[in-house]
Amino acid sequence: MYNIAVLPGDGIGPEVIREGIKVLIRVGEKFGHKFSFQEASIGGHALDTAGKPLPEKTLELCKNSDAVLLGAVGGPQWDNNPPDLKPEKGLLGIRKELGLFANLRPATLYSSLIQASSLKHELLDGVDILVIRELTGGLYFGSPRGFHQKDGEQVAVNTLSYSESEVRRIAKVAFEAARKRKRKVCSVDKANVLETSQLWRRVVTDVGKSYPDVELSHMYVDNCAMQLIRNPKQFDVIVTENMFGDILSDEAAMLTGSIGMLPSASLGGKVGLYEPVHGSAPDIAGQGKANPIAAIASVAMMLKYSFNLEQEAQSISEAIEEALRQGYRTADIFSSDGKLVKTSEMGDLIAKNI
């Protein structure tokens, strides 16, 4: 029995997570596994029901589960909340509390979706990138932070800070991952300007000496943003700090046709957290337009990384590929030669293909 904490969250989160669970139940039937699901609130939903973005009850459930499956957080109705009462605080909080310092975001182009990308086909064929984002340091967590008055006007401050140990542990994750792939690591920083990036580069270089079988390169973040569009096939594993990784992985997602295709795994502590990279998309919530593939692919990552069920994870990837090969598309990846389906229909099709 695998015990999974389910945090549907806000916007389209509940819709896509519902399809992920549907596929996971089908995997259990096929391979003889049992999954137990316990639901809790986070983000805006938690603010409305419990008065805080990460209730203690939610955190306790997650700590006592085998894995966490999360939808999305946020929405315009909470935009004017004070900083400590914003939905995103729940997401940042759970990452910190569970010690999830390594965020793995694979950007793999399904062959059937090559038409959905805005780039030329010859640039995309064979793209398979793993972005490894440091998740508990940098600007999102640095102190001091906040607002204050200076010379009669309001000033906002965020602090970018990294320690050697934080960089070393995420670099090791990247090199170990590369050993199972094409043995190439590109470390992305802004070492020509930022002291934190200079430390980052020195430490990653030092860690790389223990992995002589892995090719290490360094790239400035602005150049990397350009190279992802110019020549994405040059990349295997990209490792970078928190904010750079947030931005670059969303850019990499569009190589695959839609941000609705990109899953993620947050690892480092005892309990892993799995979530689609896309946001809560409140403008399409409840309309059956959301793409559940990122959530379903996140379930596959859960099977692989938390439960060591490689064959079961592969069956989900193959089921997604088959649904796309058959021409089924949600609105974000739809073209005139496809078959438009709703969120739940795509989940049904993928589950059927297991």
Catalytic residues: 140, 190, 222, 246, 250
d(CA 109, CA 114): 7
Rounded CA Rg of the chain: 20
Q: Are 284 and 339 in contact (CB under 8 A)?
A: no
d(CA 295, CA 11): 14
156 CB-side CA count, 13 A: 3
The owner of tokens 């700590």 is 63
> Is beta strand 215-220 parallel, antiparallel or unpaired with respect to 237-240?
unpaired
Contact residues for 18 (Cβ-Cβ < 8 A; gap 6+): 8, 292, 344, 347
d(CA 124, CA 259): 16
